[in-house]
Chains A and B, each alone.
Chain A
């Protein structure tokens, strides 16, 4: 039976304080939304709950949008400021995740920090110019963060560059309450086109060859089809209970194509 036990429990008042607590003990863990933590039996010596750390905000600066780590998915889904950017990409990416109750618990910081393979949100973030601000490691691009070794750290916020970029999110689910079998996102700012595919079931990665091809040849209906084919060829897919690698490869073509058509 899955039982999680907690020794000490702390609610720090800032991200800095949370980081100090987290790194003060070996057997410590962060509580972001608390939706996955309790699903496996474990003993947490010190639980650091970020609820009072003042990280629940969405702010606009001159050239970026800043999203605090404790902002929940329901807020991402319904936020007015976010809806004005990138064809409402971020809302589209989270609106199908389980139900409203779950989306009010799951947080941006926990999702990014955990780098979940099944994440729809990370796939969407990857086609934007996204930075992750951590207390320990400082500011990293999302690409750097995803490639970096996992260290105990506190995500403070994500920063998304404001730009005139069209974007699209696509996924296929069986029951809408289930994980995506595969997801894909694309964005275009002129000939600068980004394509990310996630839930392969591994976490979202770029279809780099397809992106280079579009940079060289421009984005059109014809080149989109070719790029979708290239993406399906270059990416790696795996098999799990949701679907086979073979099916994922086929479906990636359909999703990437749809996404590119929407950002034409």
Chain B
């Protein structure tokens, strides 16, 4: 067909093959076609050790097995872990297990990486300035697994438009979408990542996990494919926190002023070179003359272990100079940190710190002790924490809030709905929250380390304020007046000119039908660092005949700014406390089984006293800061309480009855 007359149009007018022609190509595009059936199961075949080098891999026998659909060998995919050497897809897991047994691999055993001894002997005491009274200690945390109840898994399929749709338990859908596009060399616009509720994140579901392998199989076979990692696979190959050993070198003047602090962190893996790293963020708890930190390059760790080491060292040095640990902290608190001061005083009242005596016998053979420690966490880190929020006004006068932010069980969706309602001026029940679907929700970088609510909350607040302005603007247009003449009472928009009013539902309907729907999107990037603080107090009872430790009471006082939802904050903190208790006393991490990995039972949980020291500054996000991680003071507080009870210090997690008993026995 020839065009009649000249045209400047580039795309319009071209005979592009109809995208809707899937039926002719025999693709599944109708509803019945899209019912999920024949979903391929996917499994990863791994070599037993990362230091093994694959000489040859033979998959011929496995391929012939009934029910096996596709096997990919190293040159055909990009391994997520260096151990991954084949990916298998088939009818069900049993078929895959049978196929795995038929794959034969020849390995070359490589020498282990060279250890380099000389740098290992970096002496902290030579590198830290020394004051009058010096104390050195090494504090060791145990390795831990992220402990997800639902292991990482992903379900991939092609939709009726041949777009790749991935349902995945990920903390960061946008990142998964970008990484998948890169690794699969597939257009990003043709990838949709949806994430439902996630059971357990703790940073363990931020990286690409099952999504790549299941998506790859879907693209190779055209069939829906699902990969579910088993608990054993996650224990062996999932993300863990490495066991750390933290050296602390701390000096203090005779009158109890902290002077110099040095911290050196070591992991289990061989370290070749140490680097200085910034510990000023931590040391900001106290007025310290100088502080310096060292860690091996490449070692990643959380702030928890460092806080445990620092606060344990502060407790130890207070005993060294015969000063009450709370008094020592009062004396050294960063000047002007009134929030932390409030936390300290409130906690000391809750636990009756003044009546603290050591080795108090409460029953024959059972001694009671009291301990405390501090913690802090920074939020709004240098543009790292970013989020966007979209809000739509629906025709019934309610709002839909679209956010990328993940629900991790922390109640953040509820709190974000509250913020949205607050800023618009309606009730929370009028807000529907839709999260984590890259087709619907605005791009986000993922928000981590307890800052979900903070970064996303700011974006939601900005969008909601914008929505309120637009709503009032539209009402003004409707009443043919100026926005200043419109009042909103939460349900109706009233014209001050003539007391005419329109309900939100009427305005919603009016705007939808006049094709003037309200839709706003705003973003937030953390600009200024903010810190939240906590003081933790613990009371323990130690049975000197068995070494059994009972944590009987815990008081935690928090400066988290405005408490946006007391019920959710409290339950979050109580839950986090359970984890802190587990890490301090019970965790036995094994790469083979989770049978030994114990969370505290309800009967192990102490009486919990939580108080919030609310700040009076309502700027920013209604005066709120981040929350969820600040029970980090508790492990060091428990350790100090045990010392107060029986005069024994254990520096290695977990503090088990056996460790306590053996120390008691040796000290007699």
Contacts and interface: CB of A to CB of B under 8 A. Distances in A.
Contacts of A217: none
B661 A175 contact: no
Contacts of A178: 586, 598
Interface string B96-130: 01000000000000000000000000000000000
A5 B94 CA distance: 9
B233 A177 contact: no
A174 B598 contact: yes
Nearest to A170: B546
B232 A175 contact: no
B135 interface: no
Contact of A175 (B97, B582, B590): B582
Contact of B546 (A2, A3, A172): A172
Contacts of A5: 94
B586 A175 contact: yes
A101 to B, nearest CB: 12
Interface stretch (B208-216, B403-411, B599-607): B599-607
A1 B232 contact: yes
A238 B652 CA distance: 23
Interface in A159-189: 172-178, 181
Nearest to B588: A241
A9 interface: no
Interface size for chain B: under 10, 10 to 19, 20 to 34, or 35 or more residues?
20 to 34
Given A172-B548, A174-B656, A243-B658, A1 B586 contact: no
Contact of A247 (B586, B596, B658): B658
Nearest to B587: A175
B662 interface: yes
Contact of A176 (B230, B233, B604, B654): B604
A31 interface: no
A87 to B, nearest CB: 20
Interface residues of A, number: 25
Interface in A1-54: 1-3, 5, 39
A18 B233 CA distance: 37
Contacts of B588: 241
A78 interface: no
B528 interface: no
A251 interface: yes
Given A3-B94, A254-B545, A174 B603 contact: no
B600 A251 contact: no
B623 interface: no
Contacts of B590: 241
B93 interface: yes
A157 B654 CA distance: 41
A99 interface: yes
Contacts of A79: none
11 contacts: A1-B93, A172-B548, A173-B548, A174-B654, A175-B598, A177-B604, A241-B588, A241-B596, A247-B547, A251-B661, A254-B545
Given A174-B585, A177-B599, 6 more contacts: A175-B582, A177-B598, A177-B601, A178-B586, A251-B545, A254-B545
Interface of B: 93-94, 97, 230, 232-233, 545-548, 582, 585-586, 588, 590, 595-596, 598-601, 603-604, 654, 656-658, 661-662, 665
